[in-house]
Structure 1
Amino acid sequence: MARSTRARRGRARLRAVALIGIDGSGKTTQAHRLADALTAAGRPATYHRNAGGRRWLGRLAHRLGRPDAQRLVGRTGLLVVESALRWLAIAAALLGRLVTGRVAVMDRYSVCQYVSIRAHGGHRWERLARIAYRIFPAPQVTFLLAVDPAEAYRRIEQRGTDHESMRYLTAADAAYRALPEYPTFVVVDAGRPPEEVSRQIQAHLAGWLAAPATPATAADPAAGRRPEVEWLPVQARP
Structure 2
Amino acid sequence: MRAVALIGIDGSGKTTQAHRLAEALTAAGCPATYHRNAGGRRWLGRLAHRLGRPDAQRLVGRTGMLAVESVLRWLAIAVALLSCLATGRVAVMDRYSACQYASIRAHGGQRWERLARAGYRMFPRPQVTFLLTVDPAEAYRRIEQRGTDHESMRYLTAADTAYRTLPEYPTFVVVDAGRPPEEVSRQIQAHMAGWLASADDRDDRPAEGHDGWPAGRGSRPAVVPVPPGAEPVAIARLTL
Q: What is the TM-score with the length of structure 2 in the denominator?
A: 0.84
- Which of 56, 65, 75 is matched with 2:43 structurally? 56
**In the aligned structure 1, how far is the partner of 2:235 from the partner of 2:31?**
20
- Over 4 Å off, 4+ runs: 225-228
Residue type of the alignment partner of 1:26: G
Matched, 1:79 2:66: yes
Tell me: higher relative CO, structure 1 or 2? Use CA pairs within 8 A at least 6 residues apart. 1
Matched, 1:139 2:148: no
Structure 2 partner of 1:42 = 29
Corresponding residue pairs, total: 210
Residue type of the alignment partner of 1:81: V
Aligned with 1:24: secondary structure?
coil
**In the aligned structure 2, how far is the partner of 1:120 from the partner of 1:137?**
25
RMSD, aligned CA = 1.7
Is the Cα contact below 8 Å between 2:194 and 2:236 reproduced in 1? no
- Which of 37, 52, 64 is matched with 1:65 structurally? 52
Map 1:214-229 → 2, pairs under 5 A: 228-229=237-238
The structure whose residues are more often helix, as a share, is: 1
- Which of 91, 94, 107 is matched with 1:107 structurally? 94
**In the aligned structure 1, how far is the partner of 2:97 from the partner of 2:34?**
16
The 3 A distance-change label for structure 1 pair 214 and 185 is: closer
Unaligned segments of structure 2, at least 5 residues: 207-233
Structure 2 partner of 1:92 = 79
Map 1:191-206 → 2, pairs under 5 A: 191-206=178-193
**In the aligned structure 2, how far is the partner of 1:59 from the partner of 1:129?**
25
Residue type of the alignment partner of 1:181: E
- Which of 154, 173, 176 is matched with 2:160 structurally? 173
Residue type of the alignment partner of 1:36: E
Q: Percent identity?
A: 85
Residue type of the alignment partner of 2:3: A
Structure 2 partner of 1:219 = none
Structure 2 partner of 1:10 = none
Give the greater-gyration-radius structure (CA). 2
Aligned with 2:149: secondary structure?
coil
